[in-house]
Amino acid sequence: MIIKKLKDKLLEKRYRVILVMAFLLITGVVALISRKSEMELRSLPFFPGEFKEIALTFDDGPDPRATPKILDMLYKEDVKATFFVVGKMVEKYPYLLRQIWKAGHDIGNHTYSHPDLTKLSKEKILEELDKTRIVIKKITGRDTYLFRPPGGRYSNKVIVTATLSGYKMILWTDYPGDYGCPSSKPIYQRTVSGAEDEGIILLHNGLDTTLKALPKIISELKKNKYKLVTISQLMEEIREKETVYFEKFEREQKARPLPLEMVVTE
């Protein structure tokens, strides 16, 4: 009887060991399959046609004549955009920046006095960024991490200085040449023809021709199945897709230096 009980206990222990080993084996296989599937998912090629999003951005300003009209158009079309503002213009028209912010648009730093940053010292670059950052935060209560150099002019010194200050430099993929263009038609045509997934459109805040072209631009982009988003939204989407195209914001891209004349109302 004692021997039989000992045998039963030994068999019971063996069964337990076998069950534990089987459980661990199954768990390991499941984890391996899950990890393999995850790795395969992450390595899948990215096809731009999977979604169509594009960011509409406005440089300079705020402008007391043009900004309210732009905001009104965006509101009617239920579109969010990104405004890269100039610090000294914000100081002159703080209520306009407040309107931009309350309407849910992104705000970016376009320096304080709109200089060619490549010709400034590191200290002067920091001054241009900090003065604008302070005035934006004073009005909105929020910092901005978006930055666009005037005219798209930048150097390694500009990039390093801005990056160490917490900024992400944003250029563009689509500039229709609205500054100095005497007609709205080419602005509309160039903008639409240059549109692309994950693209960034650069327009200026304060031009009559741009104001005239804007409703048609928005309408045509929507017709072509584009969703107009802010830079922050676009960056977040690209992160979630886990694609290498996040670097699109920093590529040498299609951004060419622009004239440095600022659209201001003195």
Residues marked active site are found at 59, 204
SS3 121: coil
Helix axes 67-76, 208-223, angle to 10 degrees: 20
Give Cβ neighbours of residue 175 (< 8 Å, ≥ 6 apart): 194, 201, 202, 254, 255, 256, 258
For residue 12, which of 193, 27, 20 has the smallest C-alpha distance?
20
Is residue 206 packed enough to be buried (19+ CB in 10 Å), middle (13-18) or exposed (0-12)?
A: buried
Report whether the peptide linkage leading into residue 62 is cis, meaning its omega lies within 30 degrees of zero. Answer: yes
For residue 93, which of 72, 65, 127, 58 has the smallest C-alpha distance?
65
Per the DSSP assignment, residues forming a β-bridge with 83 are: 58, 107
Rounded CA-CA distance 99/141 in Å is 13
Pairing outcome for strands 53-59 and 82-85: parallel
Q: Residue 21 is which amino acid?
A: M
Is residue 31 packed enough to be buried (19+ CB in 10 Å), middle (13-18) or exposed (0-12)?
A: exposed
